[in-house]
Amino acid sequence: ELYNLRQIEADTKVHGVIGNPIGHSKSPHLYNAAFKSVGFNGIYLPLLVDSVANYISTYSSPDFAGYSYTIPHKEDGLKCCDEVDPIAKEIGAISCMIRRPDDGKLKGYNVDYLGAIAAIEEALGASNGAPASVSPLAGKLFVVMGAGGAGKALAYGAYEKGARVVVANRTYGKAKELASKVGGQAIALAELKDFHPEEGMILANTTSVGMKPRIEDTPLAKEALKHYALVFDTIYTPKLTTLLREAQEAGSTIVYGTEMFINQAFVQFERFTGLPAPKQLIRDVLARNT
């Protein structure tokens, strides 16, 4: 069963995912199973919410320990926090909210980008055997395509890990604005195909180019992909985008968009419980519910 309200006791930590629609969300399956598997006294509910402001002011009792946020409420959620993590503020959206046990205040975070960065690091670490203490992204040239919410998140994430960031965007002005915030370089997306100052770069696509139904489209010409050691795509419908397929053909390591979601679930679980995430169980639950 998904959850059982009779299991709520005085010290049960109640969580929920705020979205609209919410019926399709895999998060309740994932977190309830994961809480149970590590013996954490917690429960996780799907919350169909129209207005985050109304929900937080009317229904969010101090008994709620934390929330996840999903479409379309990640931006509204940010406005309803008592405190916001600085990176979430820059990105302009939160993915989770945690109640501080000492004063009951709700603090918002964005861990979506941590999921993407962790997936990329794992793929790089696995291929070059770098020690866990030093990010395999440190010193790398990290090219982010797109400068929207996801582009900002990836650019800040890479910057935090010591990468040299390049922002490539269709609208050059937005690339420039974001690049200046992370001490990076800006380039028009159309010119990225001729940009290869060095080999072994990292590429992350955060544009919607290649998403269903236009799955033949790709944000970067195939000829350019050989300069990249690793290519990540935030798109997960389809799982194997044209960009990822061509990158694979060019010999790059590829990281699927689905890995971003799985890894951010690990991060959120750890924030909610203070315990290490049961990674294999989470992967299994997601595989069963897709």
- Residues that are catalytic: 74
Residue 171 contacts ligand ATR per CB under 6 A = yes
Which residue stretch of 14-22, 125-133, 149-157, 243-251 sits at the interface with ligand ATR (rule: CB under 6 A)?
149-157
Spell out the alpha helix ranges (H) of 129-229.
149-160, 172-181
Start-to-end Cα distance in the chain: 17
Residue 146 contacts ligand ATR per CB under 6 A = yes
| Whole-Å CA distances, 132 to 100, 121, 129, 136, 200 | 29, 9, 9, 8, 20
The residue number whose beta carbon is nearest to ligand ATR equals: 148
Q: Minimal distance in Å, beta carbon 116 to ligand ATR?
A: 12
Residue 189 contacts ligand ATR per CB under 6 A = yes
Residue 110 contacts ligand ATR per CB under 6 A = no
Residue 258 contacts ligand ATR per CB under 6 A = no
- Which residue from 20, 208, 253, 258 is in contact with ligand ATR, where contact means CB under 6 A? 208
CA distance 169 to 124: 25
- Which residue from 150, 179, 244, 260 is in contact with ligand ATR, where contact means CB under 6 A? 150
Q: Which residues of 60-97 are buried (b: 16+ CB within 10 A; e: fewer)?
A: beeebbbbbbbeebbebbbebbeebbebbebbebbbbb
Q: Which two tokens stand for residue 21?
A: 């629609």
CA distance 179 to 156: 10
Spell out the alpha helix ranges (H) of the chain.
27-37, 52-58, 74-79, 86-91, 112-128, 149-160, 172-181, 242-249, 257-273, 279-288
Return the sign of the alpha-carbon dihedral for residues 136, 139, 140, 142: positive
Which residue stretch of 2-10, 27-35, 129-137, 144-152 sits at the interface with ligand ATR (rule: CB under 6 A)?
144-152
Region 7-46 residues binding ligand ATR, contact defined as CB under 6 A: none
Residue 205 contacts ligand ATR per CB under 6 A = no
Q: In what order do the strands lie in the sheet with 185-188?
A: 185-188, 164-169, 141-145, 201-205, 228-233, 253-255
Chain centre to alpha carbon of residue 215: 22
Q: Minimal distance in Å, beta carbon 140 to ligand ATR?
A: 22
- Which residue from 16, 115, 136, 151 is in contact with ligand ATR, where contact means CB under 6 A? 151
Q: Residue 151 or residue 278: which is nearer to ligand ATR going by CB?
A: 151
CA distance 61 to 220: 48
How many Cα neighbours within 13 Å face the side chain of 181?
20
Which residue stretch of 140-148, 193-201, 223-231, 249-257 sits at the interface with ligand ATR (rule: CB under 6 A)?
140-148
Which residue stretch of 31-39, 76-84, 124-132, 147-155 sits at the interface with ligand ATR (rule: CB under 6 A)?
147-155
Residue 242 contacts ligand ATR per CB under 6 A = no
Residue 92 contacts ligand ATR per CB under 6 A = no
CB 55 within 8 A of CB 47: yes
- Which residue from 135, 169, 241, 263 is in contact with ligand ATR, where contact means CB under 6 A? 169
Which residue stretch of 15-23, 148-156, 241-249, 259-267 sits at the interface with ligand ATR (rule: CB under 6 A)?
148-156
Binding site for ligand ATR (CB under 6 A): 146-151, 169-171, 174, 189, 206-209
